[in-house]
Amino acid sequence: MTYDDNNIFAKISRGEAPSFKVFEDEYSLAFMDVMPQVEGHTLVIPKDKAVDLLDCDAEILGHTMVTVQNVAAAVKAAFVCPGIMIAQLNGEAAGQTVFHLHFHVMPRFSGIEFKMHAKGMEDFSKLQRHADLIKEQL
Ligand code: AMP
């Protein structure tokens, strides 16, 4: 698949679309998922025109994984969750819906199931509160 410069995460990365940002550096960006499967659901993207993992520049990917690790630690501290799940989907057949590489960082609690994937917009003031909680831990 060819990378589409106008996908929503490309627009967020360029500052052309809004996001509840928690972290940004030269290589990567982290922001709240607007249709979270669980409270604290955060996304990390590389600043690379990469459709998926297989398409990403290795150096940018390496830096992005450090961001994933740091954001995971911050989400775990902010939401006081015993587990943290990292998910990453490649291709429509795998369930990918936005074709700019991204990592899902999701708190996990025993016995608490996830909500549906990419369904149901969260209240924006809640997302801002959650972004602030995570930022305090970074
Ligand atoms: P995937 O299905 O792995 O491609 O995941 C895409 C994710 O992006 C889903 O969890 C959506 O809820 C989320 N999403 C879609 N649009 C936005 C947006 N504008 N801002 C933040 N998250 C989004």
Least confident window among 24-28, 57-61, 85-89, 116-120: 116-120
pTM of the full predicted structure?
0.97
d(CA 3, CA 20): 24
What's residue 1's pLDDT?
85
Q: What is the mean pLDDT of residues 17-22?
A: 98
Q: At residue 55, does pLDDT exceed 80?
A: yes
What are the tens digits of pLDDT across the range 3-18?
A: 999 999 999 999 999 9
* Residue 83 CB partners (closer than 8 Å, separation 6+): 107, 108, 109, 110
- How far out from the chain centre does Cα 73 lie? 14
CA angle 19–57–21, rounded 5-degree value: 15
130 is an active site residue: no
Q: What is the mean pLDDT of the chain?
A: 96
**Residue among 98, 102, 130 whose CB has most ligand 1 atoms within 8 A, to mutate:** 98
Which domains, from first to last, does the chain contain? 8-137 (3.30.428.10)
Which residue lies with its CA nearest to atom 9 of ligand 1?
118
* Residue 93 CB partners (closer than 8 Å, separation 6+): none
Residue 105: strand pairing partners: 42, 86
Q: For the chain, first and last CA: distance in Å?
A: 35
